[in-house]
Amino acid sequence: MVKSSVLGYPRIGADREWKKALESFWSGKLEEEEFHSQLQEIRLNHLRKQQEKGIDFIPVNDFSYYDHILDTAAMFGIIPKRFAYEGGIVPLSVYYGVARGTKGAAASEMTKWFNTNYHYIVPELAGVSPVLNENKPLTAYREAKEKLGIEGKPVIVGPLTFLKLSKGYNISETDAWLDRLLPLYVQILQELAEEGVQWVQIDEPILVTKLSEADVQRLKTIYEAFAASVPNLNIMLQTYFESVENYRDIVALPVKGIGLDFVHGFSGNMQSIKALGFPADKVLGAGVIDGRGIWKASLRGKLELLEELAEFVTVERLIVQSSCSLLHVPVTAARETKLTSELKDSLAFAEEKLDELVLLTKAVSSNDVGIIDELEKCEVAIQALQLSEERNRSSIQHAVAAVSSQQPNRSQPFAERHAAQQAKWQLPLFPTTTIGSFPQSAEVRKARQLWRKDEWSNKQYTDFIREQIDIWIKLQEEIGLDVLVHGEFERTDMVEFFGEKLAGFAFTQNGWVQSYGSRCVKPPVIFGDVAFTGEMTVKETKYAQSLTQHPVKGMLTGPITIMNWSFVREDIPREQIAYQLAYALRQEVEALEQAGIGMIQVDEPAVREGLPLKEEEQADYLAWAVKAFRIATCTVQETTQIHTHMCYCEFHDMIDSIEAMDADVISIETSRSHGELIHSFELNTYKLGIGLGVYDIHSPRIPSVEEMTGMIERALRVLDPKLFWINPDCGLKTRGFEETVASLRNMVGATKIARNNHAAIV
């Protein structure tokens, strides 16, 4: 009998109750005991939902108080020394200190989870001795069984993945670290086996990346140790996000099941199974329902895929499951009452994916007419959207095809543009600026809400936004910044704002997903051909420029970021979506320039997030990502200065592509990993304008002048001082007023010291 399984479930809740509980606790409005109680109720509700839907293998220990990688580190007592952790179960004050920073200690680095929009806290192994202080999977298993009668499937991040995603140790120390961690993992599994646990899901997504021969041997060491220690425990070795490398070695490991992604890794995994078969003594976890996308699956097509897999795996050894955790999709589409029926009928969020899994599982072994009818309903909904007018805008398709067939280049090379821009702007050494947004207070959010509810007129709202711009233009001048921004007070989100003004987008009411910590985003849905419909940012930027003699940057979000931070249609290549977005944004860039805005920032913080996990596919992606940026920005005059911004990136392997974007100035988020990025520039020359973020905006702490001065001086060892800018890591939307002003004053103070230290350059 075929079974169904889920690899993980969204933490945030249908009403973001998880986020609200976290932020209430952080602000002191919720006592710790009540906080634990609220999170338990949220957690149990998620388990109950899966139970009611009929999922056979329900994951436990996939829930988190912040991040699952941080949870794993905390379980092993892997806490940086600067947080004064004294052993035992990690207190919440220390746990959240690692994630968010404290007054006396900087937060640990945060980076993206493979090629998703989720970000995890990077474990720091230096100077710590791991010990199992709490068996979290066992606790989660017991809770599900005692409270709901669920025979849960504990989920654990595997040792190889955990090590490969950690920092603070030399490669030569990998085996020594494995020797430290392996007994702790064995202890976890032994305690689970003693408890009567049937299946354990060990996540090893690192197996879809390129592994060294040494790593393959480590993998064998790990799972042979597990098999010897818990021979009767069923281990599902779970992979996702792509096809596995080293297929032959992986399926030979002594585990009961292998979980493979047949959505994003379909081609490679299917090719491997056809060429090499699948072991007769193992269960195949077939990830056929997309855990990252929001569209209804063609269940008829998925059923055909499962029937094809049944040629290699008997039905009794087949589990139908999501391709990855459902963490990456919203909770439910049932409450999306404002979408057209055509679009809503095409969506499947987490709850709907549970239904798809259960229906598909039944369909594998049944010819029931009712089930067949349900499969056909999916096909009808998918086809209706495909034939819609929004997906067939021929004028846009032809225009984009013409633009993308040409090579987009600026009229002059950077050296000539830089000279012309410097002559125009007369900027000082080490120009200071911010990334774009300023704090959005409760007053700002309330004003937007009143306007959206039609309780405020357009004039009332416009006047309010102008008042905010007035305040912050004056503040920026007083602080001493050189290049100003209008503050983006009219914008809810850097992607949503533009999507609302472009054709081809739709917006959900409750389509929230977790980005990092309590930070939730509501990605737009790109469901049709994208088209420019009118000016989007000119009014506010032009008004801000009228208030000051300093240059004010126009602020746009770039095509690749809009695409990567949206849920996108699946019927055309992502490259074509990027070009459609670039063509629309080009028209906005030209409108800003015509309105007298001479500095325009087109942010691309998410370029790396779309980088394919397979090395052989990366060059092609970067080529068309760069081309899309250049399509959006190449038509401006040589004196118009194009800026961009990137964050959460490891740049050493893509500096050439960043330079190829040909932006006059790039700002990069680096404060949590400053040393690593500086090292990249020690190895690679960068010839364009650049600003390395000098303080972390994700932490409430105010960095000192001395701290920022140190970061500036280190960067100047490897970067051209005449091309160096000084700025915060990222936008300041989520920060408070007082900490923002204090931090920027310190940043300007550090800049003055740097200018004095390098006065001879002028």
Task: Tell me whether residue 698 is one of the annotated catalytic residues.
Answer: yes
Question: What pLDDT does 168 receive?
Answer: 95
Question: What pLDDT does 760 receive?
Answer: 80
Give the C-alpha separation, 380 to 539, whole Å. 43
Give the C-alpha separation, 29 to 693, whole Å. 32
Question: What pLDDT does 654 receive?
Answer: 79
Residue matched to tokens 């007129």: 457
Give the C-alpha separation, 752 to 170, whole Å. 37
- What is the rounded radius of gyration, in angstroms, for the C-alpha atoms of the chain? 26
Give the C-alpha separation, 426 to 406, whole Å. 34
Residue 169 located in a structural domain: yes
pTM over 0.85: yes
Please provide residue 20's backbone torsions phi and psi, each rounded to the nearest 5 degrees.
-65, -40
Residues 423 and 554 in one domain: yes
- Residue ranges of the annotated binding site for 5-methyltetrahydropteroyltri-L-glutamate are 16-19, 112, 117, 519-520, 565, 609
**Token pair for 230:** 């818990």
- Residue ranges of the annotated binding site for L-homocysteine are 435-437, 488, 603
* Domain containing residue 100: 3-9+54-386
Q: Which residue, 547, 551, 641, 635, is CA-closest to 591? A: 635
Residue that finishes a domain, picked among 343, 368, 386: 386
Domain count for the chain: 2
Residues 346 and 423 in one domain: no
Question: What pLDDT does 629 receive?
Answer: 97
Residue 437 located in a structural domain: yes
Residues 421 and 378 in one domain: no
- Residue ranges of the annotated binding site are 16-19, 112, 117, 435-437, 488, 519-520, 565, 603, 609, 645, 647, 669, 730
Give the C-alpha separation, 431 to 751, whole Å. 8
Angle between helices 17-26 and 92-100 (to 10 degrees): 100
Question: What pLDDT does 553 receive?
Answer: 97
Residues of the chain with pLDDT under 70: 648-652, 671-679, 683-684, 762
Residues 316 and 436 in one domain: no
Residue 44 located in a structural domain: no
Q: In this structure, what CATH number is given to the domain that contains residue 239?
A: 3.20.20.210
**Token pair for 523:** 């990605």
Give the C-alpha separation, 513 to 236, whole Å. 26
Residue 678 located in a structural domain: yes
Residues 508 and 648 in one domain: yes
Residues 582 and 514 in one domain: yes
Residues 557 and 643 in one domain: yes
Whether 552 contacts 545, CB under 8 Å = yes
Residue that finishes a domain, picked among 320, 351, 386: 386
Residue that finishes a domain, picked among 370, 386, 402: 386
Question: What pLDDT does 128 receive?
Answer: 95
Residue 713 located in a structural domain: yes
Residues 564 and 620 in one domain: yes
Q: What is the DSSP string of 684-752?
A: S---SEEEE--S-TTS-----HHHHHHHHHHHHTTS-GGGEEB--SS--TTS-HHHHHHHHHHHHHHHH
- Residue ranges of the annotated binding site for L-methionine are 435-437, 488, 603
Residue 440 located in a structural domain: yes
Residue 718 class from Cβ within 10 Å (0-12 exposed, 13-18 middle, 19+ buried)? middle
Residues 348 and 462 in one domain: no
Residues 364 and 475 in one domain: no
Number of residues that this document lists for the chain: 762
Residues 6 or more apart whose CB falls under 8 angstroms from that of 696 comprise 101, 106, 107, 671, 672, 703, 729
Strands laid side by side in the 59-60 sheet:
3-5, 318-322, 283-289, 257-261, 234-238, 199-203, 153-157, 59-60
> Which is it for strands 519-521 and 513-516: parallel, antiparallel or unpaired?
antiparallel
Give the C-alpha separation, 475 to 477, whole Å. 5
Give the C-alpha separation, 19 to 24, whole Å. 9
Residues 6 or more apart whose CB falls under 8 angstroms from that of 315 comprise 1, 2, 364, 365
Catalytic residue among 46, 643, 698, 758: 698
Partner residues linked to 603 by β-bridges: 557
Residue 17 located in a structural domain: no
Residues 352 and 304 in one domain: yes
Residues 328 and 467 in one domain: no
- Residue ranges of the annotated binding site for Zn(2+) are 645, 647, 669, 730
Residues 588, 593, 594, 595, CA torsion sign = positive
Question: What pLDDT does 673 receive?
Answer: 57
Q: Which residue, 190, 194, 192, 197, is CA-closest to 151? A: 197
Residue 80 located in a structural domain: yes
For 507-534, the pLDDT digits (tens) are 999 999 999 999 999 999 999 999 999 9
